[in-house]
Amino acid sequence: MLDLNRAWLPLCLILNFFASSAMPAHSQNSDVPVPGGTARLTFADEFQGSSLDRKKWTTNYTNVLANLPGELQIYVPDSFDVGQGTLKIRATKRQVDGYQFTSGAMTTYGALSQTYGYFETRARVPAGKGLWPALWMLPEDKGWPPEIDIMEFLGRDVKNIWMTYHWNDADGRKQKDGSAASSDDWTKDFHKYGLQWRPGLLIWYVDGQEAKRLTGPQVPAAPMFLLANLAIGGEWAGPPDSSTNFPAAFEIDYVRAYQYDDIVEAEAAPRRHLVTTASKQVVKPGDEVTFTFGIETKIPTENLRFQAALVDSTGKRRISTWDTPVPAAGPGALSRSWTYNVPPDLPKGLYIVSFGIFTMDWKLIDWLNNGITFLVQ
């Protein structure tokens, strides 16, 4: 999203490697004509079910970036409505943990991190002062910049869709290159927003037509993942006012990613490492919720330890639990589960289950300070 003052939190992203929801008619192995050449499908969500596929998306946004100055939302896991073939990221005026509004953000980190390719969504953006929907990309290594904003929209300005790239120049100074595609009113219908990313080349598309081009050595050459969100407020978008209608929704028909047939396979391979899932995203005192933690690795996985912790949205640790040794399993994927009974005295609000993976002598392999969010109501 269009801002140069981002501050990464010391919180790692969820990694999520299983794929299960419907693909488009063409398969992952078929050659598909897309802008810039023929390609194979590497990721798709057509939103054909009745709920968000949390094996493709993680919704714990607080482990990516802090809210930008002036933003008013807290991202919670019950802000996603799937039905009739679309996803609606819903922004609502309600208070949670001191925030005035709730909304949703989701990322493909773990399900898809890719170098180069073609990326596309078909979506309808909401009108209203203070609304800020976006589809964008961040690097897998959690550095910033670079950042590719495939599309951003300010609800107070229905005539412009923004496309921007952020990077550091050779002297380490932050740079950006942004421009807008204009229309009478982008909110009236669905539109396609796409990005061609090749070595030294970025081309943005709106409804299949080239809208912006950038070339040069500043173009990224390392894996990046997708994010979609609906922010409220911020220095660029401004706060909502009495004319802004809530609930508001950023409606998405599909999100797809492709890799060009002429890109070297080693560059194209998605990165998949860890997976965290929860049996419920919204709970109440007395409920039981099961969290599953996993790792995919090419090294032997015998004698690994898992450690889990429950923290609130301020970072206060509530519970720290087990360091169960994992039986020898050889290279590949393995997982462990933890079932938590929500105590009657746990205050309402947003909570995070984090976990770490260690060797038996406590050498850290990976630690996710934020694993997955769930909301206690």
Segments of the chain scoring below 50 in pLDDT: 2-23, 62-63, 65, 266-273, 328, 369-370
In a domain, 20, yes or no: no
What CATH number did the domain enclosing 236 receive? 2.60.120.200
- The per-residue DSSP string of 247-283 comes to SEEEEEEEEEEEEETTS-HHHHPPP--EEEEES-SEE
Q: Do 309 and 232 share a structural domain?
A: no
Residues recognised as catalytic: 147, 152
Q: Do 171 and 83 share a structural domain?
A: yes
What CATH number did the domain enclosing 332 receive? 2.70.50.60
Q: Do 137 and 282 share a structural domain?
A: no
pLDDT digits (tens, 9 = 90+) for 154-188: 999 999 999 999 999 888 899 999 999 999 999 99
Please give the pLDDT value at position 266.
46
In a domain, 3, yes or no: no
pLDDT digits (tens, 9 = 90+) for 8-38: 332 333 233 223 334 455 555 568 999 999 9
What is the maximal distance between C-alpha atoms in the chain?
63
Buried b (16+ CB within 10 A) or exposed e, 344-353: eebeebbbbb
Helix (H) or strand (E) holding 175: strand 174-182
Q: Which two tokens stand for residue 143?
A: 């550095």
Please give the pLDDT value at position 301.
57
Please give the pLDDT value at position 15.
30
Q: Do 172 and 288 share a structural domain?
A: no
Please give the pLDDT value at position 5.
35
Phi, psi (degrees; rounded to nearest 5) at 266: -60, -35
Cβ-defined contacts of 309-314 (< 8 Å, 24+): 309/353, 309/354, 309/355, 310/340, 310/351, 310/352, 310/353, 310/354, 311/351, 311/352, 311/354, 312/347, 312/349, 312/350, 312/351, 312/352, 313/62, 313/74, 313/97, 313/349, 313/350, 313/351, 313/352, 314/97
Q: Do 329 and 206 share a structural domain?
A: no
Q: Do 261 and 278 share a structural domain?
A: no
Please give the pLDDT value at position 4.
32
In a domain, 239, yes or no: yes
In a domain, 18, yes or no: no
Q: Do 278 and 261 share a structural domain?
A: no
pLDDT digits (tens, 9 = 90+) for 330-346: 555 666 677 888 889 88
Which residue among 265, 297, 319 closes a domain? 265
Strand-pairing partners, residue 373, are: 352
Q: Do 145 and 286 share a structural domain?
A: no
Do residues 226 and 112 make contact, with C-beta atoms less than 8 angstroms apart?
yes
Q: What's the rounded Cα separation, in Å, for the pair 330 and 291? A: 23
pTM (two decimals)? 0.80
Q: Do 173 and 49 share a structural domain?
A: yes
In a domain, 75, yes or no: yes
Q: Do 293 and 148 share a structural domain?
A: no
Which residue among 210, 240, 265 closes a domain? 265
- Number of structural domains the chain divides into: 2
Please give the pLDDT value at position 85.
97
Which residue among 223, 245, 265 closes a domain? 265
In a domain, 341, yes or no: yes
Range of the structural domain that residue 313 is part of: 274-376
Do residues 291 and 353 make contact, with C-beta atoms less than 8 angstroms apart?
yes
Q: Do 211 and 109 share a structural domain?
A: yes
- How do beta strands 131-139 and 117-124 pair? unpaired
Q: Which residues contact 231 (CB under 8 A, 6 or more apart)?
A: 1, 67, 68, 71, 73, 103, 105, 131, 132, 133, 134, 237
Q: Do 305 and 183 share a structural domain?
A: no
In a domain, 279, yes or no: yes
Do residues 56 and 44 make contact, with C-beta atoms less than 8 angstroms apart?
no
In a domain, 150, yes or no: yes
